[in-house]
Structure 1
Amino acid sequence: MNIKEVLCKFNCEITKFANRKQEFSNRPKKDFSRNRKQSFEAVIRSILSLNGGTLTNELLRINHFSADSPSASAFVQQRAKISERAFPHLFQTLNRTFDRDCRYEGYRLIAVDGSHIHVPNNHEDKDSFVQARADEHFHNEFHLNAFWDIIQGTFIDAVVQKYRSQNEDSALIEMIDRTSLTDVIAVCDRGYEAYNNIAHLQQAGWKYVMRIKEQGAFGIADGLQLPCYDEFDQYMELSLTRKNSLEIKALTEKHKNKYRYIPLQVNFDYLPPSKRQEPAIFFTLKFRILRVRIAENHYEMLLTNLPAYEFPKHKIKEIYSMRWGVETSFRDLKYIIGMLKFHSRKSSFVTQEIYAALIMHNMTVVVSLCVEIPQKERKYEYKIRFSTAACIVKSLLTGGVSPPVAEILIRKNLSPVRPSRKYSRKKTPLKAKIQFAYRIA
């Protein structure tokens, strides 16, 4: 596929989406029923193309500084008519259109992760209003939960939550339940360590590689009888129950690697509350628990249900290490695509721009893959510079640059790949309020 074909497919999907505008309007048969300068399609394209400037300046840029450019007030009135389902639906539609079904050993590799999003200060939105530390300014945050395709480098699903109501476990289960993907390996960080999450992955027929806490840190490994070696790989079948009878207590004490009691206050969707007169009900989890060396005197615990004969320890370690790309993709979303530069305090508008950023991130990846990097004898291997490509793709999708010129510009802007380069993690600075007083021109 070349850039021209990508652009044609993108425009086709946007037009088909605009033809269903009544399904995605807050007041069907009334909103977008009259012919105005800012049609449903024009508003959608404008939101997708927003950068970090003021709303007025952005609208001037998007409309090529035409005398008919809409005012900020008119644009806000039009975008308020779009329902909350619109951008999530467009995000999923474009994902299906441009999915390449890339696989590793026959599996789709999906990294599961979440990230806080610092949004404009809004005292009225109590669900996102937070002061995380005593010395920190009050500010507002949303939480983005996402599935990221490790091989393709694109976000394939997302759940947006407000800070006070965020729940990464429920978001994970929601995305698992609505996906149609098969033959998946979900690669999860330590924050998803929970019996309920593992059970949902198992019931969905998914494989997983999950980092878990070391023994003594109140995690799944606590209470298990594990080898005393620095590295090991042990298979287990752990039967869970909510029954807390004397018989079950004796079983859990005698067979620590086979039985586990789940208290009622611990969320587990596949076990009903235990009744005194009824027999114990069990739910069995089958997994391998591994401890692998990742650096000098540094080890990690991993949990997986991948078979050992196909995926030995070194492959499990390799799969988990591949999830790091989701961290850099969150960084690109925020600091390159511009997911920290919102143009409204209103939570529904913020959600629109979060999904717009996800769409533009994916489209930048899709367009970049159409550009062949010239092979030359160089000190380093080179890749397309994502920050420049994102700028070019936004202009491409708004008609500011043609596909041939876009390809030339993207190919000219490369950056070296330095896989051995590492940086120490810096302490996160105190978060301040996001104001609209000063924006880039």
Structure 2
Amino acid sequence: MAEHHWLFSKNPGHDFTRQHLGKLSFYDTMRLIISMGKGSTNDEIMDYFDLDPDLIPSQSAFCQRRRQISLSAFEYLFSEFSSSFPSTTDKFKDHCILACDGCHVVYATNSDIIEDYNKPRLIDYKGYNHMHLNGFVDVISKAFLDVVIQPGQQPDEREALHSMLDHFTPDDPQKYIITADRGYESYDLLFHCELKNLGYVFRVKSPSSPKSILSYYASELPDDLEEFDVTIKRFFTDKATNIMKSQSDVYRYINPSKNTPHFYELLRKNHSHLYFLLFRVVKIKTTENTQEIYFRLILYNFGIFIANEAAEENRKKKRDGSNKYLYELDFSSALKTARKFFMRRDSGRHIDIIRLMMKYVHAVKDRFRQFQRPLRGISAIHFGYR
């Protein structure tokens, strides 16, 4: 890329044409941006150039160089770098498991970027900016195979998965299984996977939900059972003849008004108005419905009982008359201390847990505060530290 830097510059023929005379080449600018953490710009530049005053460029020079690089440079580098390795590094029972999911990535607040800015609902609250990152990940190797970045206020996770499926061209697609959570369930994604010869496992809503793609088969699914494994067989069609309507256990009509373009690609590929689809619907009970909540409540009560004893002891302490504030027990620290105490294995060393909790107190300033305490908004978290 450095040898053909004009392909990745905003102004080819102008940007980086005299880079040999300066301190920041295209190569160093790219590497510096990629390696940056959450320190200040000057700190990051200083680290990159190993504290050498003769090599360190100014912050202004770096900002100018950064503006000269096009966004496509990083997209291209990610794509080429990722594809230079095998698509997957490990297999699960002779299959490669790929997962798709999305998350919000918060960045520096800028209310001018309307499609990313989340406006606060209450006055005096701080808004924040976020983008929606859709990732296609190899579950075993944990590597990103592809990403689609969307505006934070206008995410479309299904459309993102469609895009990533379009980009995905493995040599042996039948060796891959696509997995996704409930938000992705749609007939068209199933048809897209069928079109690409990919296996798939989608988590879907209960058949009793009218928004579930399984609602059509509710009579065939014993949803009142805690677990079941049922195979559904249907001929999907874009024709609605009287015979097909009368045999709903054999045919499933797909309305052309629905957004299912990949279904019609399947029909064109098969030169038919019918496409046979066999899929399993599996309901699995993972845990008892209320186990974990009781675990949390037991540990919470364990901590709060001890913390209340420590708070009482703290109130008995004689207050220093020179202190401006009254000091109360910090319950947040106390609960963390109780958890650490609970996790200790049998030990001959005695721990005075009450005295330990009393070391963590905070000043009560409510009657001294001259203004209402502001609540912090969501702040940016550098992606490398998430």
Identify the TM-score tier after normalising by the shorter chain: 0.5 to 0.7
- When residues 192 and 257 of structure 1 are mapped into structure 2, their CA distance, relative to the original with a 3 A threshold, is farther
Match of 1:18 in 2: 2
CA distance in 2, matches of 1:141, 1:223: 37
Match of 2:352 in 1: none
- Structure 2 residue runs of 5 or longer lacking an equivalent are 265-271, 291-344, 346-374, 382-386
What CA RMSD, in Å, does the superposition of the two structures yield over aligned residues? 2.9
Shift of 1:153: 1.6
CA distance in 2, matches of 1:39, 1:151: 37
CA distance in 1, matches of 2:81, 2:277: 36
Give 1:226's aligned amino acid. Answer: E
Match of 1:216 in 2: 208
Match of 1:104 in 2: 92
- When residues 281 and 134 of structure 1 are mapped into structure 2, their CA distance, relative to the original with a 3 A threshold, is farther
CA distance in 1, matches of 2:376, 2:231: 44
Match of 1:226 in 2: 220
- Structure 1 residue runs of 5 or longer lacking an equivalent are 1-16, 273-279, 299-378, 380-429, 437-441
Number of residues of Structure 1 aligned to a counterpart in Structure 2: 280
Instruction: Please point out which of 5, 9, 23 is paired with 1:37.
Output: 23
Match of 2:115 in 1: 127
Shift of 1:259: 1.2
Retained in 2: the 8 A contact 1:236–1:257?
Answer: no
Moved more, 64-73 or 184-193: 64-73
Percent sequence identity is 28
Q: Which residues of 2 match residues 293-332 of structure 1 at below 5 A? A: 293-297=285-289
- When residues 134 and 73 of structure 1 are mapped into structure 2, their CA distance, relative to the original with a 3 A threshold, is same
CA distance in 1, matches of 2:141, 2:263: 37
- When residues 269 and 435 of structure 1 are mapped into structure 2, their CA distance, relative to the original with a 3 A threshold, is closer
Instruction: Please point out which of 129, 132, 147 is paired with 2:136.
Output: 147
Instruction: Please point out which of 68, 74, 90 is paired with 2:77.
Output: 90
Shift of 1:262: 3.3
CA distance in 2, matches of 1:270, 1:156: 23
CA distance in 2, matches of 1:237, 1:230: 22
Retained in 1: the 8 A contact 2:227–2:283?
Answer: yes
Scaled by the length of structure 2, what TM-score is found? 0.65
Instruction: Please point out which of 103, 125, 146 is paired with 1:115.
Output: 103
Q: Which residues of 2 match residues 197-212 of structure 1 at below 5 A? A: 197-212=189-204
Three-state SS of the structure 1 residue aligned to 2:203 is strand
Shift of 1:271: 4.9
1:160 aligns with 2:149: yes
- When residues 83 and 261 of structure 1 are mapped into structure 2, their CA distance, relative to the original with a 3 A threshold, is same
Shift of 1:286: 2.9
Scaled by the length of structure 1, what TM-score is found? 0.58
Give 1:75's aligned amino acid. Answer: F
Match of 2:186 in 1: 194
CA distance in 2, matches of 1:139, 1:61: 30
Shift of 1:121: 0.8
Three-state SS of the structure 2 residue aligned to 1:110 is strand
Shift of 1:30: 2.0
Match of 2:61 in 1: 74
Structure of greater relative contact order (alpha carbons < 8 Å, 6+ residues apart): 1
Instruction: Please point out which of 230, 237, 257 is paired with 2:233.
Output: 237
Larger Rg over CA atoms: 2
